[in-house]
Amino acid sequence: MTNRKGDILFEEIRSIDAEVFELLLLADPSKSLVEAYLKQSEVYTASLNGKLQGVKVLYPLSLKTVEIKNVAVKPDLQGQGIGTYLIERSIEIASISGKLSICIGTSNTSVGQLYLYQKLGFEITDIKRNFFIDNYSEPIFENGIQAKHMLILTRQLNDERKN
């Protein structure tokens, strides 16, 4: 699926090059976890004049729910709305494909991301306690605190009762 916002091109890609993979590691430092979920996911990039700007990974969590496993924007381009657009497009893609909800997981330490996701209509629905301690070889620190728990935020899409 291809889409444009201004001069920025959003498209699904079939192969992951080193630049895209490095960007994925910005959102998720576990190479093995990223490699594992990429096998079953759809990957979309945002680019301008052929230059990579951002990436997102959509994973079919179940028949009813899609998960945004990874979303990242190049550090020098953050804060310009690209992340918002990548997430808004994910909501649209999930909705068009008939999913009932879309979710995203982030750390208890990721205050900016938690703000962004809630602003886009996601609500905290679950917590995976000690996820970042149990699944990552190195401790992760962000905003001066240790990442321990994964907060799951969900946005409802189509109402099942209407179908």
Binding site for ligand ACO (CB under 6 A): 26-28, 68, 70-73, 78-84, 104-106, 112-113, 115-116
97 or 143, CB closer to ligand ACO?
Answer: 143
43 or 105, CB closer to ligand ACO?
Answer: 105
CB of 82 to ligand ACO, least distance (A): 4
CB of 79 to ligand ACO, least distance (A): 5
20 or 68, CB closer to ligand ACO?
Answer: 68
User: What is the spatial distance between Cα 157 and Cα 163, in angstroms, rounded to a whole number?
Assistant: 12
Instruction: Enumerate the H helices of 15-125 as residue ranges.
Output: 18-27, 31-38, 82-96, 111-119
Give residues with Cβ within 8 angstroms of 26, minimum separation 6: 72, 75
114 or 158, CB closer to ligand ACO?
Answer: 114
Give residue 95's identity as a one-letter amino acid code: S
User: What is the spatial distance between Cα 163 and Cα 155, in angstroms, rounded to a whole number?
Assistant: 18
Given a contact cutoff of 8 angstroms between Cβ atoms, the answer to whether 103 and 138 are in contact is: no
CB of 58 to ligand ACO, least distance (A): 11
CB of 70 to ligand ACO, least distance (A): 4
The secondary structure of residue 110, as a DSSP letter, is -
